[in-house]
Amino acid sequence: MALETDFIVIGSGVAGLRASIALAESGGRVTVLTKDKASESNTEYAQGGVAVVLAEDDNPELHEEDTLVAGAGLCDPEAVETLVNDGTKYIKQLIVWGIEFDKEGDKLLMGQEAAHSRRRILHAHGDSTGAEFVRSLMARAAAEKRINLTPFANTESLIISEGRCVGVRFLDPVLRGPREIFAKAVIMCTGGAGQLYQHTTNPPVATGDGMAMAYFAGAEMADMEFVQFHPTALSLENAPRFLLTEAMRGEGGILRNKYGERFMPNYDERFELAPRDIVSRSIVAEMRRTGTREVYLDMTSKDEEFLKHRFPKIYETCKAFGLNIATDMLPVSPASHYCMGGIRTDLQGRSSVAGLYAAGEVTCTGVHGANRLASNSLLEGLVFGARAGEAAAGDRPKSQVPSPRSKDQSERSDSRSAVISTAVKKRVKRVMWERVGILRDRDSLVRAIREFEQISASNLGTSSRNFVTLALLVSKAALWREESRGGHYRTDFPDQAEDWRVHSVQRIGESISSASRIDPDSASAART
């Protein structure tokens, strides 16, 4: 028997929780589906903090300018203005709701991170900001009786009827089988797709299913070629690629090569505080120059007590692997971290499919451009999660929840849908890392696309199909963009070109087109 609710939210990170709260406050019944435990998301793992204009020496214009510079000419100014101005409002609201940011006495502690012109980064419990976001938003959501949180409910596909998204098909954790739920609107908040790559800081759940589901439902995808690689992931054999936050360099961390030499002055005048794409490429260049697989992050100039207090989670994790961050050089190398591209939405989270909204890393609003500014991701999830929830509540049709007997629903997926084939995952991740990674060129991209198309021709379950499809979207967009900009670097087109200052747009069954700004209602002009 099919289920009914007013709104479905897929994902329980900062965007999903904030959207759920906005929907519940509108008076609607909200069902939140997550494919793992409710707290398992990229939000939970966010260490660096959240950027917000609260300091006396800061202002929205400075934060906007820093974001635009990091975005390498591809941010949409209106989206950035919305992020910065609404961000202050929603962070203040979170403080009222009880989030516990770090303080010195009665004053909020403000940190510095790469490419920020001011100390505007709030942290919680040192390096556990994301976890504190989840805790505080979960507590607020728990106070809303209209929110029904359903963990371990893996969403398989969206249900489309007469061009409108009317529900989802998911695996019921109790019945252990597929089930359908119908609603007036669906809000996709499933996060990014860092798991596409062999080396990533993302948790296992970050496989990009939400992006693929939206794509197969007919939604437009934008800027899929732009993937951010975090410069400093812990690089130890048989250890996870644990993120060593940007804030460590903000607090004076120095990058050194195998000879102990500081090398960033050779690559950028901002040294270790250059934007992430530049630092990542500089590390790759230095590793190639010295014939090594890692460089080193040096925090030894800082007092151990300071480091233990400022980075408690990192301190304990490194200690478990036999490293003292106060006395040892920490081996690091880049890893995939964040997707700037995703479901193309307007500033209210509306996709190009009626009834389908989205917020957070799963989207492309134009906020991040070609390269996300450090610590803008939690802010984006908070701001656009709230805006998407408010828009879905305000736009909802006057009619009742759509009938479960809709005619043109997509076909039911098979029983293999919940799991990505081990062989598919391993092959895709390796090819993505080697051919669609930090440095790209035409020959490597063409070979990657050919290999992914061969995999796609196999008899795949839904999740495996989603995984390969996303790899194809990223690869094809990277081949299409014949320039280097932000997180996308082509060794055969190393320069940034003004006539490529456009967003890539992909839609199922169509060739890649371009758009000058993010707006699902505007027509995409095909690039000649």
- Residue 108: Cβ within 10 Å count: 15
| Helix, strand or coil, per DSSP, at residue 188 | strand
Q: Active-site positions?
A: 276
Which residues lie across from 342 on neighbouring strands? Answer: 222
CA distance 113 to 115: 6
Q: What is the dihedral of CA 88, 92, 98, 103, to 10 degrees?
A: 80
Give the contacts of 509 (CB within 8 A, at least 6 positions apart): none
| Distance from C-alpha of 171 to C-alpha of 180, rounded to nearest angstrom | 9
Amino acid at position 290, single letter: T
User: Are 130 and 184 a contacting pair, CB within 8 Å?
Assistant: no
Residues 278 and 286: their CA atoms lie apart, in Å, by 12
**Residue 156 Cα distances to 94, 195, 320, 344, 385, angstroms:** 32, 18, 37, 20, 22
Picking from 318, 483, 325, 373, the residue whose alpha carbon sits closest to that of residue 83 is 373
Nearest residue to 435 (alpha-carbon basis) of 392, 396, 490: 490
Q: Are 420 and 193 in contact (CB under 8 A)?
A: no
Where does 264-398 show beta strands of DSSP type E? 295-298, 330-339, 342-344, 356-358, 363-364
Q: Which helix (H) or strand (E) holds 432?
A: helix 422-435
- Tell me which residue has tokens 């500033």: 347
Burial grade of 191 (CB within 10 A; 0-12, 13-18, 19 or more): buried
Backbone phi, then psi, for 125, in 5-degree steps? 55, 45
